[in-house]
Structure 1
Amino acid sequence: MDDSTEHGATAATTQVSRLDFDIEWPPKHAAAYLVDGAAPVLIDCGDPQERAETTIRDGLAETGNAPEDVAAVVVTHPHSDHIGQVPLMREAGATVYAPRPVLEQLERDEEDLAEGVRDVGRSAGYRGEAIEREVERAQSSLRRNRRLLAPDDAVAFEFGEPFSVAGGEFEAVHTPGHQIHHAGLLTDLDGERVLFSGDALIEPFRPGAIHVGIDYGAYDAVDAFHRSMDRLEGRSVDRVYPGHGPVFTGYDGAIESTRAALEALTGDTFEAVTGVGPATPMEITRYRSGEVRYPAQLLDTLGALGTLEGRGRIQYKERDGVRYYSVMKASP
C-alpha cells in the first residue's frame, strides 16, 4: 500500500491511499485507491490472483480498515487487473458500482462474440487454429469477467451523469480506446478536483488501444482514444489517480502526451504500410514491432489502420476475408 502523499501530494489528499498489485504483463503492476472516511470507497479492485487478496487485505489494514469496512467499490473498466477482487469485497458487504454498458456487455452471447472474433481475426491475418485460439481466449475472458463482476449484483451508473456513492458524488466521463466502456471518475476531495483515470490517462506512457480486443470495433480503437482526450480536455483537474504509473498533477500535459503518442503510433503504422504493403495487419505489426508477444501490439495496429483509412492515407483489398493494406495513391 502506498499513501498518495509519497508522490508529492499535500495534506489535502492524505485521505486517498493507494494499493499496488503485482501483475504478470506490462507494466507489471496495477493500482487501486481507497478513499477513506466514514464510509470508505475503493476505486478498482486489483487482479484475481491469490496474492492480490493478500495485497488488498494488508493494504486496507494499513489504513485501519478491513474488507468489511469498505462501503462501496467503483469500477472504471472490466479488465481483470481492475476487477479481480470484486468478489471478495462484495462478499464482505461492499456495494459494487460499474458503468451500465459494462454490465450489459457482460451479458453478451458467447456465439455472437465468437463471430466477431473470427471475422476480425481473419481480417487481421489469423488463420486456422490461431483464430479458434483467439475465440477461446475471448470467450474465456468473458466468462471470467462475468464471474468477477456479476452484472446482477452490481449497481449501474451512467456516463455524463453525477451519481452518489456512500455519501460522495462522482461524475463518470466516457473514455474509450483502452476499453470501449471505460469510465474516468471525477470528484472533489478536500478542495481538489481529482480524476480517477483508470487506464485512460497515464502520465509516463500511453495505455494500449485495446478497446474491444479482437472483435467488431477493433479498427476504431485509436479514433476512440482521441475522442476520450476530447472529452477530458478543457476540464479543471488538480490531481490524477491512474490505474498504472504514479499519481500526477500534470493533467493537461498528460492529455497532450497521450495525443502525441497516438499520433506517433499512427505515423509508425503508416511507415510500416509503406515499407511492407500490401500486407495484412499481422504482417504490418511484425514490421512495426518485431516479434508480436502481446495482443496489445496487434490491437494498436488495428486501431491505427482504422484511423489512417479514415484519413484517406491507406486502403485495403480483401481476399477471403483477409485485409491487405497499401498506401493510398495520389490522384493524377
Structure 2
Amino acid sequence: MTADASCRAVRADRAHERIHRLEFDVPWPPKHVAAYLLEGEEPILFDAGAPDDAGETELREGLAEIGYEPADIDHVVVTHVHSDHIGQLPVLRAAGATVHAPARSLSRLERDLETAREGFREMTTAAGYEGDRYTEIVEEELEELRRDRRLVEPETARMIEPDATVTIGGREFETFATPGHAVDHLCFETTVEGTTVLFSGDALIEPFRAGAFQVGLDYGADEAVDAYYEAMDRLAETDATVVFPGHGPVFEGPQAVIAATQDRLDTLLEETREAAAAVGPASPLAIAEQRVGTVRHMAPLLDTLGALGTLEREGAVTYETEDGVRYYEIA
C-alpha cells in the first residue's frame, strides 16, 4: 500500500468512528433499513427508521449501544418521505430534535386531500386496476399521505433545498436532488475526518436498485425512470469515496455503483419493451405481470409504469386510453 493509500485508509477509518449505523427491521426485502448518527457538537441523525413500537425499541436500543438516547440528537435529516425512513420522527421531535426535510417533501405533504385523491384515482385507473383492488389502492395512497403528514409534521420541519450548500448543526452539506425512487429524494455529501462521505438514502445502494416509486400511483408516475437516470447523472458529480446507504452495506467507490444502477435501469427498459411486445396493447398492470409474473405488491407495477413512460417518450411504445385505462403497444 502506498503512503497516500495508507493515509486515505486511516482517514476513512476515522470517519467510520464518527458515523454510527442503526438498523431497523422491515417486513419487505431486504428486511432492514439503516439510519446513521453523525457525531459532533450537535449530533445529526440521517433518517429515522421504521415506524411503530418495534421501531421505537430499535431506535432506543441502537442509540444506547453507542452511548446515546433520543434527547441527545439535535437534528434529524430526512433523505425522503417513505415510512421506513421517517418512522421515529415523532419520538425524536418530542425529545427535542429539529427535523429537516426536502422542500419538495413538505410541499407534497401539504396538498389538499381531495386534489391528491383525484391524482390517485386517475393513475390507478390508468394502470389497469379495477373493482375492489382499485378502491383499496386509492384509499391506501390517501392513508399513506395522512400517515406521512403525521410523522413529518411539515408545519414544524425545516426545509432543505436541492442542489445547494446547506448548514445543519454547524456542518456544511452539499445536497443532490436524486428523484426516481422518490420524487423528493436528496443525498447529502460532507467531509468527516478528511474523508468525503455521502448519505445516499435509497438513491444509491450497492447490491440492488431501489424501485422507481417516484410519486406512487399519482400524476408523474410515468416519469420515474427518466428521473432515476437524471439522479444518477447528478450523483456522478459527487466527490465522496464512502457511501452510507439506507439499505445494504456501507460501500466505497460510488461511481461503480452509479454505473451498475444505470445498467439496471437499462435492463428494466428492455424487459418492459419485451413484455409490451409480447402482450400489447395492454395496460401497465398486464405488462408488469408479463414482465415479472403475479404482481402482489406495487413495486413491479411502478417500475413498469415508469419504464413505459420513458419508452413512450423515446418513441419505442405508444398508448391509447379507453375508459381511463392506458393500453400500450410497440410503436
Task: Decide: shared fold, TM above 0.5.
Answer: yes
Counterpart of 2:59 in structure 1: which amino acid? I
The offset of 1:62, in angstroms, is 1.4
Q: Under a length normalisation based on structure 2, what TM-score does the superposition of the two structures give? A: 0.95
Q: For residues 1-150 of structure 1, what are the structure 2 equivalents within 5 Å? A: 10-150=13-153
Among candidates 210, 215, 232, match of residue 229 of structure 1: 232
Whole-angstrom distance in 2 between the partners of 1:183 and 1:190: 23
The separation in 1 between residues aligned to 2:161 and 2:252, in whole angstroms, is 26
Counterpart of 2:312 in structure 1 is 309
Contact 1:98 1:155 in 2 (8 A): yes
Match of residue 199, structure 1, among 199, 202, 219: 202
Alignment partner of 2:28: what SS?
coil
Secondary structure at 1:170's aligned position in 2? strand
Deviation at 1:128, TM superposition (A): 2.7
Match of 1:291 among 283, 294, 303: 294
Q: CA deviation at 1:37?
A: 2.4
Task: Judge conservation of contact 1:187–1:195 (CA < 8 Å) in 2.
Answer: yes
| Cα separation, 2, equivalents of 1:235 and 1:140 | 36
Report the CA distance between 1:133 and its aligned residue.
Answer: 1.2
Cα distance, 1:246 vs structure 2: 0.4
Of residues 257-266 and 129-138 in structure 1, the stretch that sits farther from structure 2 once superposed is 129-138
Give the Cα–Cα distance (whole angstroms) in 1 for the partners of residues 229 and 330 of structure 2.
23
Matched residue SS, 1:203: coil
Matched position secondary structure for 2:187: strand
SS at 1:153 equivalent: coil
Deviations 1:309-331 (A, max 9, x none): 11111111111111111111xxx
Deviation at 1:189, TM superposition (A): 0.7
Q: Is the 8 A contact 2:14 2:193 kept in 1?
A: no
Alignment of structure 1 residues 121-270 onto 2, 5 Å:
121-270=124-273
Task: Tell me how far apart the structure 1 counterparts of residues 100 and 269 of structure 2 sit (CA, whole Å).
Answer: 35
Amino acid in the other structure paired with 1:24: P
Preserved contact between residue 189 and residue 238 of structure 2 (Cα < 8 Å): no
Structure 1 unaligned blocks of 5 or more: 1-8
Give, in whole Å, the separation in 2 of the partners of 1:123 and 1:59. Answer: 43
Match of 1:149, as an amino acid? V
8 Å CA contact 1:13–1:190 kept in 2: the answer is no
- Partner SS state of residue 155, structure 2: helix
Q: Given residue 293 of structure 2, which amino acid in structure 1 is its aligned partner?
A: G
Shift of 1:273: 0.6
Tell me if the contact between 2:109 and 2:148 (Cα under 8 Å) persists in the aligned partners.
yes
What does the per-residue CA deviation read over 1:73-106, in whole Å, with 9 as the maximum and x for residues that have no partner? 0000000000000000000001110111111111
1:282 paired to 2:257: no
> Which has the larger displacement, 214-223 or 32-41?
32-41
Structure 1 range deviating more: 46-55 or 264-273: 46-55
2: CA distance, partners of 1:42 / 1:317: 47
Cα deviation for residue 195 of structure 1 reads 0.7
Percent identity of equivalent pairs: 51
- Cα drift, residue 293 of structure 1: 1.6
Matched residue of 2:286: which SS? Answer: helix
Q: Name the amino acid aligned to 1:302.
A: L
The alpha-carbon deviation at position 27 of structure 1 amounts to 1.6
Tell me which amino acid in the other structure corresponds to 1:320: D
Q: How many residues align?
A: 321
Structure 1 position 26, deviation (Å)? 1.6
Q: What is the alpha-carbon distance in structure 2 between the residues aligned to residue 12 and residue 182 of structure 1?
A: 24
Q: Which moved more, 1:162-171 or 1:172-181?
A: 162-171
Q: CA RMSD in A?
A: 1.2
Aligned partner of 2:9 in structure 1 is: none
